[in-house]
Structure 1
Amino acid sequence: MELRHLRYFMAVAQEGNVTRAAEKLGIGQPPLSQQILALEREMGVQLFRRTGHGVTLTEAGEALLVDARRLLDDAQNAVLHAQRAGRGEAGQLSLGFTASSAFNPVVPAMIRAFRNAYPGVGLTLMEGNTPQLLAQLDEGRLDLAFLRPGTHSFAGVTLYQIADEQMKIVLPIKHPLAKRKRLPLSALAGESFVLIPRRTSPTLHDEIMSACRQAGFEPALGQQAPQLSSVVSLVSAEFGISIVPASVSQIQAEGVVYVDIAGASVRTRLALASREYDTSVKTENFLKMATLAKREQGSRTNITSEYLG
């Protein structure tokens, strides 16, 4: 039995007349009658009683009508589900992010834009540091990841640049330099730095260390913090000072001030990473929505892709 046989059966059952059913289906009446007879022979039961005005369903026909309607609905739903999946409108998307990237407003804007455009796609969010996220991408456990790549190259990864973000100095409010609007990094020589351990955030850690060395001093490493919010809290508790991405300044913790860096520009790079040969429609859709969300955020830098191998 094929689905078309059930469609023929349904048309005759609904019309109660083979000629009208044939017209509805756009086929000839004799071929439709032959198909119905063939279906009855295959099933070994009579489905219709022939009358002078048309046909009526037998008990066997009534039973088949219930299941035929369900089967045809299921078949139609299967087609619709496949079409939605083919357009990237269904399924699951796994998205990774570093703790520092989540502070940049363009990241939640991109996620929000995708969820609004594709509500049928489930989003799984996973936090990790850059090496962890790259490993999960490579293993296929993540589809995309927001991370800070620095100047490193990653084989088999395509990076879409999201932001080139300024860094800021964060000081205890009672620090002698806290009332300054801008400070050169050299003014921090001899200060105790509160940083996230390199194993946790290697890119951000290296960028801060490199900027200080270029300013002519080796940072004195003090208390370590597990994440950026903890860095701000420890600075507030006067464990030392730190340097953070500008977007972290939205953490308005009591007892700290954020100061711009004077002189040489100190920046950190934020990117969206995907596997080089990922052809998933869901991934492509997220990248499209990310581009639109970034434009709406008013960023001056267009999202660009580059292969780093």
Structure 2
Amino acid sequence: MENDLLHSFIHVIDAGSLSKAAEKLYLSSTALMKQMNVLEAQIGVQLLIRTHHGIRATDAGMSLYADAKFLLQYSEQAIARAHQAASTSPYLIRIGTSILNPCTVLVDLWNTISETYPQFKMKMVPFHGAEPCPTAYETLGKDFDVMVGAYDSANGANAFQALKLGEHRISVAVSREHPLARKDLLSVPDFSGEHLVMMQPGISPLMDGLRDYVRTEHPAIHIQDHPPQYTMELFNRCEERGAVLLTLDGWKEVHPFLVTIPVDWPYTIPYGVLYPLKPSKSVQLFVRALQEAVGSPQLLNHR
């Protein structure tokens, strides 16, 4: 809201010298002189008289000087009042978080822009979530307003919107004692003879496509189904039985006794900020702010 030309003009009058004002403004005298010429051209009257003893204002200049100081002071007060209003009546955004749906990526993103949006206040709401977790998605807008999670049409029975933040690489997790744990990157033939635990068919087209690929191209791999939910019990069971669990690289910190290893296949799954299909005003404004932060909006509706 502050006018740079008026701000410089006030400094020139106060200093009585172009060079002294330029020094305070961290400008060259030439640059400051150009600013004053532009200001006079915009207003259409002479504001300054340049003498051998410095700079003095014309009558028009003194009139503008008084009004400019008032305008800039009023502008600063208006900004201060806006910040005060925002701090006394913030929009509260409840962020759902769990072991498999950590909100770290959202919090990190928000920290980069939070000073621009002081009207928002965050509250973490822990829940016992799994991925995909129908219960968690159903509580969006009830127990909490937004959450971070992976998604595809596996969530079809639940209505929500998603602002995409990135892609999770579909990886595998094995016990630290498993022979595959010593590898930094796996190829699919490495699983030959192994039990690959993955989501049961008919839930996720993405996972169904991966399943078809494994069965067709690598029949020596034994696929074992698990229910749609990823739970800590599932991670424990795979660690105890030495099975190879299909997982996401974003979950590498979930279980301390499992090692998450990438696979040289092209399978990824999007993740982002999930929020209700009919969000409240505060959530709409929050998501709009996030859209501006991540660049081009990448909104997806899931029904």
Normalization by structure 1: what TM-score? 0.51
SS in 2 for 1:177: helix
Partner of 1:146: 148
Q: Which structure 2 residue ranges, 5 or more long, are not aligned?
A: 1-80
Superposed CA offset, 1:236-265 (max 9, x none):
5454221221122245835x4332212x31
Superposed CA offset, 1:90-145 (max 9, x none):
25322234642317x523424655777548625142433432233223x6443223
Residue 178 (str. 1) matches residue 181 (str. 2)? yes
Q: Which structure 1 residue ranges, 5 or more long, are not aligned?
A: 1-78, 296-301
Partner of 2:263: 261
| Distance change in 2, residues 1:257/1:91 (3 Å) | closer
Partner of 1:271: 272
Superposed CA offset, 1:51-87 (max 9, x none):
xxxxxxxxxxxxxxxxxxxxxxxxxxxx9899538xx
Letter in 2 for 1:220: Q
SS in 1 for 2:263: strand
Distance 2:261 2:98 in 1: 24
Asked whether the equivalents of residues 94 and 123 of structure 1 are also in contact (C-alpha less than 8 Å), the reply is: yes
Distance 1:192 1:224 in 2: 18
Partner of 1:219: 223
Distance 1:135 1:225 in 2: 14
SS in 2 for 1:160: strand
Distance 1:100 1:233 in 2: 14
1:1-309 residue pairs with structure 2 within 5 A? 83-84=85-86, 90-97=90-97, 99-102=99-102, 105-110=104-109, 112=111, 118=118, 121-127=121-127, 128-129=129-130, 130-137=133-140, 140-152=142-154, 153=156, 157-193=160-196, 208=207, 210-216=209-215, 217=219, 219-221=223-225, 227=231, 234-250=237-253, 253-254=256-257, 256-262=258-264, 264-278=265-279, 280-289=281-290, 292=293, 303-309=297-303
**Percent sequence identity over aligned pairs:** 8
Deviation of 1:233 after TM superposition, in Å, equals 5.0
| Distance change in 2, residues 1:240/1:306 (3 Å) | closer
| Distance change in 2, residues 1:121/1:95 (3 Å) | same
Deviation of 1:231 after TM superposition, in Å, equals 5.2
Letter in 2 for 1:167: I
SS in 1 for 2:285: helix
Asked whether the equivalents of residues 148 and 270 of structure 1 are also in contact (C-alpha less than 8 Å), the reply is: yes
| Distance change in 2, residues 1:268/1:97 (3 Å) | farther
Superposed CA offset, 1:203-224 (max 9, x none):
6xx7556523321155124899
Distance 2:282 2:86 in 1: 10
Asked whether the equivalents of residues 170 and 258 of structure 1 are also in contact (C-alpha less than 8 Å), the reply is: yes
| Distance change in 2, residues 1:247/1:123 (3 Å) | same
Deviation of 1:272 after TM superposition, in Å, equals 1.7
Equivalent residue pairs, number: 211
SS in 2 for 1:182: coil
Superposed CA offset, 1:35-61 (max 9, x none):
xxxxxxxxxxxxxxxxxxxxxxxxxxx
SS in 2 for 1:133: helix
Larger Rg: 1
Give RMSD over aligned pairs. 4.3
Partner of 1:62: none
